[in-house]
Amino acid sequence: MKQIILTGDRPTGRLHVGHYVGSLKERVALQNAGQYDEIYIMIADAQALTDNAEHPEKVRQNIMQVALDYLACGIDPDKSTIFIQSMIPELTELTFYYMNLVTLSRVQRNPTVKAEIRQRNFEASIPVGFLCYPISQAADITAFRATAVPAGEDQEPMLEQCREIVRRFNEVYGETLVEPQIVLPSNQACLRLPGIDGKAKMSKSLGNCIYLSDEPEEIKAKVMSMFTDPTHLRKDDPGHTEGNPVFIYLEAFSRPEHFAEFLPEYSGLEELKEHYRRGGLGDVTVKKFLNSVMQAELGHVRERRKLWEQRLPEVYEILKAGTEAARSAAANTLHDVRHAMQIDYFEHAGLLN
Ligand code: TRP
């Protein structure tokens, strides 16, 4: 069986370091490992509209931003197909058929959707489209016969629901669709990077993000203002590293060579942590080190982004060509789906009997 990746992001803002360690880095690694036959990276504008119906301009403006963030991270348009979701009407048609295979109580039970409804105060007025976005996401994934979906941990319930739809479809209409697996980063700290304020999630609406496009001074100001251990008041106090955002970030970003380069007094993260727990290590020292690490990691990304920002017409062509290629792959699957459901009426004389 072909090994195929499909994944994507909603274009509701620029991408941040939570996206980077949670999924983007993994996608680039998978792309460069060369073990996949096809890779599709989707800008999920139709999904973004399910809770931004009144703000299509916000979604439109962020399509280019997300495309630039992808290219900046090392998504290579020669190896990966980047495309725009709403330009592929086949995805909407698949969604419509899949909706009949899912019950209302099942969509209401999706934990990620439930959490998002709470966050958005939608309780009394949930847009139907929003409630159904996991079904549309199943269409995104299955349209490309994806076997692997590198995404953040919060996408696990979507994959679960997608697999259920695949099984149900295959059971009712015959073996047609492929069951996907999620690919999560192996590093625990990357699974859920907290915001710089220590809140559980980095999110634009909370204003606690470090963006891939942030300038060095912005990164530094954000790192130096990060929430740490509230019980570590004086340098000599013993501190906690567990649940401490600065140390979670170090776990996600630092590598042994960063210690050799920026903090040679310590052999590595374990020794630094031990010192912090013992007392005698100040937050400023740790934050300065984290800043050096993040500058080293994000500098390349920002530089590459700046190069692409000079070539916007080329980015536009990449999206256009990618969307065309993706559309033909999705049309292929839709053809098989219609055939399996026996609603491909004019393909043969089916209507006559
Ligand atoms: N739900 C994803 C997000 O919140 C975006 C997305 C849409 C997606 N369709 C997808 C991710 C298919 C993986 C696979 O960003």
Task: Give the residues surrounding ligand 1 with Cβ less than 6 Å away.
Answer: 6-10, 44, 47, 137, 140-141, 149, 151, 155
Average pLDDT, the chain: 95
The pTM for the full model equals 0.95
| Atom of ligand 1 minimally distant from the CA of 10 | 15
Give the pLDDT band (50/70/90) at residue 204.
confident
Classified as helix, coil or strand, 182 is: strand
Question: Cβ contacts of residue 45 below 8 Å, gap of 6+?
Answer: 10, 11, 59, 60, 63, 84, 85, 86
Q: What's the rounded Cα separation, in Å, for the pair 223 and 262?
A: 16
196 with 223: CB under 8 angstroms?
yes
Q: Which of 65, 10, 110 is nearest to 214 (CA)?
A: 65
**Distance, CA 10 to ligand 1 centroid (Å)?**
7
């792309």: which residue's tokens? 31
DSSP secondary structure code for residue 16 in this structure: B
Joined tokens for residue 46? 């139709």
pLDDT at residue 201 greater than cutoff 90:
no
Q: Please give the Cα distance from 180 to 339 (Å, whole number).
A: 22
Q: How far apart are CA 258 and CA 294, in angstroms?
A: 10
226 and 287 in contact (C-beta within 8 Å)?
A: yes
- Under 8 Å between Cβ of 142 and 120: no
Atom nearest to 155 CA in ligand 1: 1
Query: What is the maximal distance between C-alpha atoms in the chain?
Result: 86
Secondary structure (DSSP) of 51-74? T-TT-HHHHHHHHHHHHHHHHHHT
**pLDDT exceeds 80 at position 86:** yes
Q: What is the pLDDT of residue 203?
A: 84
The model's confidence at residue 192, banded by pLDDT at 50, 70 and 90, is confident
Which tokens sit at 270?
């374990």
Distance of alpha carbon 135 from its chain centroid, rounded?
17
Q: Which atom of ligand 1 is nearest to the CA of 6?
A: 14
